[in-house]
Structure 1
Amino acid sequence: MSARDEILAAVRGALRDADRAEAPVPRGYRGAPPPADVVSLFAERVVDYRATLSRCTPADLARTVRAALGSAENVLVPESFPVDLGGVADADDLDSCDAVVTTAAVGIARTGTLVLDHGPGQGRRALSLVPDVHVCVVREDQIVPGVPEAVALLDPDRPQTWISGPSATSDIELNRVEGVHGPRTLHVVLVGP
């Protein structure tokens, strides 16, 4: 008998009389209590990730998004975006676009992360990855405390893009370079009452 066979035989012997009943695993047993103000924490974490943050009311959304776009001329605006910005919808040539404007499915307070599930107002996945500027609109009521709450809201069958700040890498000589794998500039517009 080989050493491998001896070990496996010992394991089988030890498990022979083991209780095979399923043990419930309590979810959230290590969960931290939710932060007192998820919106403020989200805003703080977004800025920590070197994204720009603007806050506005629904009535000021179009003006705030236009201001966030700055001098961008060729702007992609997906179908079903909540306000008319007069941009191009789902252009085929993403390399010629200066910026994209999307909504988000959810925002995560503890990590300052935006999650796009590419539903209404978000467009196809490549829209948020190719243009150099991404302006993302998220409503205060879409912000949840942590990742477990976000995952519970998302449809696992939909494509998802999780965004924490502008695209960045430190692969080359440990120098931070932004815009290598996605938008160099991320501007989050937080819409409140």
Structure 2
Amino acid sequence: MSAARDEILGRIRAALRDVPATETATDVPVARAYRHTDERPRDELVELLCARIDDYHADVRRLPGDADVGRAVADACTDMGLARVAVPPQLPRHWRPDGVDVVEDRDLSARQLDELDGAITGCAAAIAETGTLVLDGQAMSGRRLLTLVPDHHICVVCADQVVGQVPEAIAAVATPVGERGVPITLVSGASATSDIELERVEGVHGPRHLLVLVVG
């Protein structure tokens, strides 16, 4: 490791050898030709998001309105056999399922989270083009650990949180990242990888099962 480090630093010094000591670092404008925004109608973006999530072998369900969330979450818990679930403390009461033991995540340890059946959260944004959920570690998303340890994750996405492109989502979480340095988690489908024989293995890096409830 030390030899590699020395080689890297040596190359940097060599590259900077002809730079005058009086020359200061400056920002250099970089041309960015990719799309920053998406002008497609909201309904079209929501449909695209749902299609992408389905492509990733995650479950997605559309709900008419906010008042339908609690019942949909309860039904999902029944379908998946979830008896005890963790939620961020500030998750709306009417999003929480009846008939299920709901545990607020007040700095639960990884072991305590692992003993629960699943987690229910909101999100900061959702990217239609990539089918990605954006979790910012704040009130609705919950701690990063909350959505990585339990085997099941139910995420509620409101239609007005859906954006078309990645730059729009990054802009949406710029404040918590810039001011508080919170970690951002990007979720595209349930956790999965492939072994050496290209056999799909789920639940390696996070929840084995992802259900997205899209409201509106």
TM score, norm. by length of structure 1? 0.82
Matched, 1:48 2:48: no
Q: How far did 1:24 drift?
A: 4.3
- 1:172 pairs with one of 196, 207, 216: 196
- 1:30 pairs with one of 16, 27, 34: 34
Paired with 2:135 and 2:141, the residues of 1 have a C-alpha distance of 7
Paired with 1:23 and 1:181, the residues of 2 have a C-alpha distance of 37
Paired with 1:22 and 1:178, the residues of 2 have a C-alpha distance of 43
1:89 alignment counterpart: 104
Matched, 1:106 2:113: no
Q: How far did 1:85 drift?
A: 3.1
The one-letter amino acid paired with 1:116 is L
> Percent identity at matched positions?
46
Matched, 1:125 2:129: no
- 1:134 pairs with one of 143, 146, 153: 153
Q: How far did 1:122 drift?
A: 2.2
Residue correspondences, number: 178
Matched, 1:67 2:84: no
* Dislocated runs of 4+, deviation >4 Å: 21-24
Paired with 1:141 and 1:161, the residues of 2 have a C-alpha distance of 19
Q: How far did 1:46 drift?
A: 0.7
Equivalent residues of 1:108, 1:147 under 8 A apart: yes
Deviations 1:130-180 (A, max 9, x none): 111000001010011111111111132221111000000013321111111
The one-letter amino acid paired with 1:54 is R
Distance 1:151 1:73, change over 3 A: same
The one-letter amino acid paired with 2:103 is V
Paired with 1:33 and 1:163, the residues of 2 have a C-alpha distance of 20
Distance 1:34 1:122, change over 3 A: closer
Paired with 2:76 and 2:57, the residues of 1 have a C-alpha distance of 15
Equivalent residues of 1:77, 1:85 under 8 A apart: no
1:78 alignment counterpart: 88
- Look at both structures and tell me which one has the larger radius of gyration over its CA atoms: 1
Equivalent residues of 2:158, 2:214 under 8 A apart: yes
Paired with 2:125 and 2:52, the residues of 1 have a C-alpha distance of 15
Paired with 2:192 and 2:137, the residues of 1 have a C-alpha distance of 22
* Structure 2 runs not aligned, ≥5 long: 1-13, 19-25
* Structure 1 runs not aligned, ≥5 long: 1-7, 13-20
Structure with the higher helix share, 1 or 2: 2
TM score, norm. by length of structure 2? 0.74
Distance 1:76 1:148, change over 3 A: same
